[in-house]
Amino acid sequence: MIWLIGNRGMLGMEVETLLNRQKRDHIATDVEVDITNIEQLKEFVSNKPISWIINCAAYTSVDKAEDEPELAFKINADGPLNIAQIAVKKNARLIHISTDYVFDGTKEGAYLETDLPNPINIYGKSKFKGEKNIAETIKTYFIIRSAWLYGKNGANFVRTMLNLFREKTEVKIVADQWSSPTYASDLAEAVIRIIDIDPVTFGLYHFTNEGRTNWYQFATEIYNFAKIEGLIDRYVRVLPIETGQYQTKAKRPVNSYLSKEKISRDFNLNLIPWKESLARFISTSRHGL
C-alpha cells in the first residue's frame, strides 16, 4: 500500500490523480494527519500495511518563512524526520520532495546531486535540514529536488503571471535568476515511475523539465502561449529587470539549475522540455486558468 502525504497540495493532487487513474492501492492524507506529531503518525499507521510513503507536504512560502522560521523548520525538517521514523517502523520506502533552493547559486554550471548545499534563505535551510534528517534516519529513501513548480492546483508563477497580464499593461520580471520550470504533472509521473521500477538502490535525485531559463523568459513564454490559447486578448509589455530592482524578503540563488542526468539514467526517464510542458499545461488547463 502507498501512503500519499499532502494530497491537497499542488503536487500531491497530481500524484493522487495518477494513483486513482491507475487504481493503485493507496491512502492519502493532508493536514488531518499532522506530520509534526509523531504520536499521531504512529496511531494512523498502526494497522496499515504501508510499503511506500510519498511525502508532498511542505511549507513552501519562501518569503514568509523569513518571518516564520520555527514553523518552516517544524514542517520542513521535523515533519520529514517523523515520517522517516515511521517508514523505518513500517519497513517502507520513502519518496520525499525537496528543492533547488538548498543551493546558494554561486556555481556557474548545473548543480549535481554530489554538490554541497549551502542554502541562503530560511526556506532552503529548512528543506536541507529535512533532507539531512531523512538521510540520517532511513536507508531506503529517495529525495527528489525540484524547482519552479507549477500546476493546475494552488498558487504558482504561471497563475500569478496570467493574473498580472489581465490586470496590467506592463509587467517587470527578474531576468538574472536561472533554473528550470517543472510541471507538477511531469514530476508526479516521475514519482510513480520510481515506484514502478522498485529499485534496490536509493539516494538523492534532481528532477525538473529540461532546459535552462530565467523568470523573465519563463514569463514571456507564459504570455505567448496564453495569447495563442485566447486567455489573453490584450498587449502587455513584459520587461526584464535585475534582482536588485525587485526586492524580496528572502534572498534567492542566482543559479539553481539542476542536472537531471542521474534520474534520467537510473530510471530511464525521457525529460520533457519546459516550453513543451508549459504549452501542454496552458492548453489542457485553459478553462481553469
- Write down the pLDDT at residue 129: 98
Contact 108, 255 (CB under 8 A): yes
The domain tally of the chain equals 1
Q: Which helix (H) or strand (E) holds 264?
A: helix 261-266
Tell me how far apart the alpha carbons of residues 185 and 17 are, in angstroms, rounded to a whole number. Answer: 9
Output the CA–CA distances (angstroms, integers) from residue 155 to 150, 182, 267, 272, in the order listed. Answer: 8, 14, 30, 23
Which residue, 90, 84, 112, is CA-closest to 100?
Answer: 112
- Position 229 in a domain: no
Amino acid 154: pLDDT:
87
Q: The CATH number of the domain where 265 resides is what?
A: 3.40.50.720
- Hey, which residues does 99 pair with through a beta bridge? 146
205 is catalytic: no
- Residue matched to cell numbers 530565467: 214
For Cα atoms 151, 152, 154, give the angle at the middle one, nearest 5 degrees.
Answer: 85
Average pLDDT over residues 92-104: 98
Tens digit of each residue's pLDDT (9 = 90 or more) over 210-250: 999 999 999 999 999 999 999 999 999 999 999 999 989 99
- Cβ-contact 194, 207 below 8 angstroms: no
The percent of residues in the chain predicted with pLDDT above 70, rounded, is 100
Q: What is the percentage of the chain residues whose pLDDT exceeds 90?
A: 96
pTM value > 0.75: yes
Does the pLDDT at position 285 exceed 90? no
User: Which H/E stretch holds residue 131?
Assistant: helix 122-135
Rounded CA-CA distance 136/87 in Å is 13
- Out of 59, 111, 123, 141, the active site residue is 123
pLDDT at 177 over 90: yes
pLDDT at 3: 98
In a domain, 19, yes or no: yes
Residue identified by cell 512560502 is 61
Task: Give the tens place of pLDDT for each residue, 35-92.
Answer: 999 999 999 999 999 999 999 999 999 999 999 999 999 999 999 999 999 999 999 9
The answer to the question of residue 41 being in a domain is yes
- Domain coverage including residue 88: 2-155+181-210+256-272
- Average pLDDT in the chain: 97
